[in-house]
């Protein structure tokens, strides 16, 4: 496709820098996308710092992508030039295992292909993510951006492609709805989407935060209650009250402290992926009241389309700070300090 530009990290210690690279020629079912906006997820931070010990340098992060179709391959009829599309973490999977057949390609037995920091299974080239001007993907992984979203709202749509689906999927699968009492741990990119989506599903939502200054922010997003986790009296008042807890914290914590907030048969689902393991689990935290501990990984392509349609219907959009691409290092520095309300999004097209 020719040369394009992105921002790449070349090691754990060096800042991201402008990087020129080649996008592949369009295959029959490919589409070429001009990237408009790309969100910055804490997973991008884990990867550039090699905190999960699997980074392939140089790495161009970015997996919350909104763009416009520039060109389509010869076999593509479902998209045309000018269409608005979204691309998230998943850009391919085996399509033959039981999980893929069940439309759950995030759990593909062979491992799905990530939009960045992974290898293309066909030619072995390295996949570079959305902090770049152009992207080439198979049309089957491109999501349709619902018409209800206005042009000026597109930067706020980008974070739905990871933060939105990662919170929607477990909330939906646990049948959260009116009458459910849901706890969200952590008010960051995922946490703020979790609050808004759980509230839109009709749940009573309690935010658990380590930051005492996030009370008003949590409430304005739709949390009915905000509990600072260092407030022992408030934590005690929540014991045994919740049906479901979504743990989005990017750091390890004492899971027992939160499991005890669940009612009988309640579940805590982990989505945060801290590089350091959580503290030891006490069997008593689960056995007492028959509680469960679960996990969830992003969501499937089909479910991501469903989530976009849900967010369009309920007018759920991320709260963001839009920055030009050349300020990407400042954004990562501030993300480390938890200084973001609540997602940075890169203005790729205008950078």
224 binds ligand NAP (CB under 6 A): no
Residue with Cβ nearer Zn ion (43 or 167):
43
- The region of 90-98, 186-194, 258-266, 318-326 touching ligand NAP under the rule CB under 6 A is 186-194
195 binds Zn ion (CB under 5 A): no
250 binds ligand NAP (CB under 6 A): yes
Among 31, 59, 104, 162, binds Zn ion (CB under 5 A): 162
Question: What does the alpha-carbon distance between residue 201 and residue 280 come to, in Å, rounded to a whole number?
Answer: 33
Residue with Cβ nearer ligand NAP (56 or 251):
251
Among positions 65-124, residues that touch ligand NAP (CB under 6 A) are none
Among positions 14-33, residues that touch ligand NAP (CB under 6 A) are none
Residue with Cβ nearer ligand NAP (162 or 346):
162
189 binds, among Zn ion, ligand NAP, none (CB under 5 to 8 A by kind): ligand NAP
Kindly write out the interface string for residues 255-284 of this chain, putting x where it contacts ligand NAP by CB under 6 A and - elsewhere.
----------------xxxx----------
Residue with Cβ nearer Zn ion (8 or 162):
162
Q: Which residue is nearest to Zn ion (CB)?
A: 41
Question: Residue 185 CA to chain centroid, in angstroms?
Answer: 15
- The region of 41-49, 227-235, 248-256, 272-280 touching Zn ion under the rule CB under 5 A is 41-49
73 binds, among Zn ion, ligand NAP, none (CB under 5 to 8 A by kind): none
43 binds Zn ion (CB under 5 A): yes
Long-range Cβ contact pairs of 234-240 (< 8 A, separation 24 or more): 235/261, 238/183, 238/206, 240/264, 240/289
Measured from the CB of residue 302, what is the shortest distance to ligand NAP in angstroms?
16
294 binds ligand NAP (CB under 6 A): no
- The region of 9-17, 69-77, 205-213, 254-262 touching ligand NAP under the rule CB under 6 A is 205-213
Label each residue of the chain as H, E or C: CEEEEEEEECCCCCCCEEEEEEECCCCCCEEEEEEEEEEECHHHHHHHCCCCCCCCCCECCCCCEEEEEEEECCCCCCCCCCCEEEECCEEECCCCCHHHHCCCHHHCCCCCEECCCEECCCCCCEECCCCECEEEEEHHHCEECCCCCCHHHHHHHHHHHCHHHHHHHHHHHCCCCCCCEEEEECCCHHHHHHHHHHHHCCCEEEEEECCHHHHHHHHHHCCCEEEECCCHHHHHHCCCCEEEEEECCCCCCCHHHHHCCEEEEEEEEECCCCCCCCCCCCHHHHHCCCCEEEECCCCCHHHHHHHHHHHHHHCCCCCEEEEEHHHHHHHHHHHHCCCCCCEEEEECCCC
Residue with Cβ nearer ligand NAP (67 or 186):
186
Among 100, 199, 249, 259, binds ligand NAP (CB under 6 A): 249
Measured from the CB of residue 44, what is the shortest distance to ligand NAP in angstroms?
8
Among 31, 41, 259, 268, binds Zn ion (CB under 5 A): 41
Question: What does the alpha-carbon distance between residue 314 and residue 337 come to, in Å, rounded to a whole number?
Answer: 31
Residues near ligand NAP (CB under 6 A) are 41-43, 46, 162, 166, 186-191, 209-211, 214, 248-251, 271-274, 296-298, 335, 338
């Amino acid at each position: 496709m020719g040369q394009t530009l992105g921002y790449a990290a070349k090691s754990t210690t060096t800042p991201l820098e402008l990087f020129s690279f080649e996008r592949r020629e369009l295959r029959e079912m490919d589409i070429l996308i001009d990237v408009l906006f790309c969100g910055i997820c804490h997973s991008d931070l884990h990867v550039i710092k090699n905190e999960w010990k699997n980074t392939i340098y140089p790495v161009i992060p970015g997996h919350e992508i909104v763009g416009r179709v520039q060109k389509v391959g010869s076999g593509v009829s479902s998209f045309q030039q000018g269409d608005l599309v979204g691309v998230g973490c998943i850009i391919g999977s085996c399509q033959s295992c039981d999980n893929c057949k069940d439309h759950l390609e995030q759990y593909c037995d062979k491992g799905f292909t990530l939009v960045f920091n992974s290898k293309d299974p066909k030619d072995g080239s390295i996949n570079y993510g959305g902090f770049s001007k152009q992207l080439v993907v198979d049309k089957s992984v491109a999501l349709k951006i619902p018409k209800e979203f206005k042009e000026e709202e597109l930067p706020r749509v980008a974070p739905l492609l990871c933060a939105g689906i990662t919170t929607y999927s477990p909330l939906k699968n646990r049948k959260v709805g009116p009458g459910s009492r849901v706890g969200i741990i952590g008010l960051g990119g995922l946490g703020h989407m979790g609050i808004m989506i759980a509230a839109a599903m009709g749940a009573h939502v309690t935010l658990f935060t380590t930051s005492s200054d996030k009370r008003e922010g949590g409430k304005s997003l739709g949390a009915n209650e905000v509990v600072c986790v260092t407030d022992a009296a408030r934590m005690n008042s929540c014991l045994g009250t919740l049906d479901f807890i979504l743990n989005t914290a990017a750091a390890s914590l004492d899971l027992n402290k939160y499991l005890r907030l669940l009612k009988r048969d309640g579940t805590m689902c982990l989505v945060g992926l801290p590089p350091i393991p959580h503290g030891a689990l006490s069997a008593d935290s689960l056995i007492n009241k028959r509680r469960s501990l679960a996990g969830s990984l992003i969501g499937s392509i089909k479910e991501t389309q469903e989530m976009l349609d849900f967010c369009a219907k309920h007018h759920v959009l991320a709260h963001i700070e839009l920055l030009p691409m050349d300020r990407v290092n400042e954004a990562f520095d501030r993300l480390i300090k938890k200084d973001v309300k609540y997602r940075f999004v890169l203005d790729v097209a205008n950078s």
